[in-house]
Structure 1
Amino acid sequence: MSPEEQRDLMQPATGGSAKEMSRRRFLHYAGALGAAVAGVSPAAIAASEKVIRIGYITPKTGPFAPFSEADDFILAQVRKAVEGGIDIGNTRYRVEILVRDDQSSPDRASNLAAELINKDNVDLMLAQVALGPNVAQQCELNGVPCISTMGPWEAWMFPIKGNPATGFKNIFHFFWGVDDIAAVYLDIWKDLPVSRSVGMCWSNDVPGNAMGDRKLGMPPYFSKAGYKLVEAGKFAVGTDDFSTHIQLFKRENVDIVTGLFNPPEWASFVKQSAQMGYRPKVATIAKALLFPAGVDALGAKADGMSTEIWWTPAYPFHSSITGQSAKQLGDSYVSTTRRAWTQPLGVVHALFETGLAALKASGNPNNPKAVADAIRTMKLDTVIGRLDFTSSGIKNVSKIRVAGGQWRLNGAGKPEIFVTNNRTAPEIPVQRPFELLKSV
């Protein structure tokens, strides 16, 4: 510390007493004094204080915990990649990732976001939004850039009064839309030797209501393609009685069953279908067939069930953080955790890819507007494919690649998912042809 700085520190601030000196001024001089005592220059201390804080809100526990199963593995990879800091312009920044568990509660997610913004002063928020856009809403209100994923863009945008034509100032999202999944399902069903009747079961919650809406959801796409829609009404989350739906599907000779279920609900539907002698030829189900554990619990009945694919190790893409191919990422996860890979592994990895890329492209990661502008113009090749926030036709949203897939039992009797239909994403190779269910 120079003699002048020492003298200034001991003198009252201009226009008032010493007690009125600002906290920032005191901390600056105190830090400089400590540096002088330690033999470190104030310039070195200033450089070491360049920090980027990234908040990450995730359902680590609670009913949505399967979406976060790969989080620890992904975070370990990302933290290793940035452990020496990252260079932006001529400055090196230390990176802190502050992880918070929302416990699968929308209200808790909102409160955690407010805390990370107001207490921890995060520069960027990353979030899973299967529960809804609570985190994004806090970020928009407080001027903090946010990137989220893991929910249909409609269920992210419309609950907070967003307009696809104008978007938002600070918040961004990447995932598929209802139209994308409808296109995948129609691609799976095309040319199959089955009746043109679709039996629909949608859960009575935010994603189920969004996907099953008769005007804005998937049903209009099915109707336009010439399918007869058969529905007994939405079911309450957690129900274990689907007898009304099954009786109707039997009566209407429904060959194709679709809808959105949690894994226990779908297990109940499958069990009751067998008991009631109902055997559809196609079962294309959202959410319940996403995670290997839930599919494995169905046993041999899972063989031939179908769903959309957001990501698999068969995708022909690479990580912008680690350089790993999708296959290498999946193999590394399996060998490290001794667990089967899950689709969120690729999607959440891509979430951190977009976050780091935006911070680097901003030129000033501590400037919220600079970071938001970097996301707004981002085109980035990730482990799930190219993310492009400029050309989806929906402001602040990038679509992801989605293909059709089918679960088949391997030689050990364990389910594996294969890409069977790729009209919606032709760059993703088909792995095997689609086959009708033998039984449900």
Structure 2
Amino acid sequence: MQIAILGGGFTGLTAAYDLARHGVEVTLFEGAPYVGGLAAGFKAPHWDWPVEHFYHHIFEGDTDIRALADEIGFGKKVFFRNPITAQWYNGRAWPLDGGNPLEAALNVLRFPAMPLPDRLRYGLGLAYLKYGTNDWRALEQMTAAEWAQRVLGRRAYEQAIKPLLEGKFGPYAAEVNLAWLWARFKARSFRLGYFEGGFQAFANALADAARVAGATIHTNTPVTHIQRLPEGRWRVRTAGGEAAFDRVLAAVPPSVLVHIAPDLPSAYLAHVQALKSLGAIVMVVALQHPLTPNLYWVNLDKREFPMLALVEHTNYIEPTHYGGDHLVYLGDYLVPDHPYFEYDTEALFEVYEAALYRFNREYSPDWVRNVWLFKARYAQPVPPVGHSAHIPSIRTPLEGLYFASMSHVYPWDRGTNYAVRLGRQVAHMILGDTMENRQHSANVVPL
């Protein structure tokens, strides 16, 4: 059995590893010069560790990625810490979590944007989402905005939930279902996890484990077209040539699948094209000095700031790993045709830099050592009401072609843990289909 996997993110890498371990001949094609997808990193010459293009961490409950790390001998390089997450309000950052549930609850109660009764109501509502229910299918039948206004109260919605939804989903904020909000709080833990050497080190280790199991991995090799051949196999074409495979797993964004697989039935393609999503723009700024007072993550209101979040990575991971640089992410989710996607680094930094003075009055442009800009037009799927019924099936209508994207991790939000889970799910599905086909062929009696 020969299988082509398109995409070297964590879904594609995990599927390649699992399939190769089961004796499948796997060839993975990745268009970028590195593996890791949206969790991949970059490294300045004077750094010991790379840092992610788009900020990443895992939660203590992310059992899939932690189990995989253990399996490939990388588990001891996972560590957890308690960085501080805050909400910007009235000119300062207010911590909203802590090292334990009690500390987090007290910080919520201290948050002055809402009167005390509203803060209590808000805390109880979030506690219900995190601890009180697992029935996400019922939750997806209403919008998060509708539920938050009714259950958490108008003030809590305006001060906490509405900025979150509008910042994350822009024009689709009012459409997002409650299951997304449930999953966001359900998955969170007070401690956040990271890998020695960053997520790139783990992606590289997983790719190496897949190679040891027998997989072949080609980077710098985007697939331009796939086509089902008359005998049932699949032709996969790249700039360097073409080859035939028995199965194809497309672990790619929906727009890429539509482009490279035009032979899919129009109804299925329309289903894929109907998926809504936002892109991500993230700027990484290397500073000579820390910007915030030991804050890791600061949620921002886009009615007040030109970005959604400020993440000071080196208040979580020591700056010694980055040559003493203090690394700050300035991140945002935007519709794919937003003008910022056309801005170069200098132009967008000019937009963002004015905000830096608000976090530290001593900030000066001469603090800046370097600036990098990263863009992804597909980064955040939008889950409307009843979304589970509208996700395209992983098994496409064309036999032997499978499609796995971030939309398929629903009801969970995008993240490396669920990408790993999806990769294992699809690998299991492909192996099961293969065994079923072999058994069927063995039972056919020739005329």
TM-score (norm 2): 0.25
TM-score (norm 1): 0.26
- Whichever of the two has the greater Rg, that structure is 1
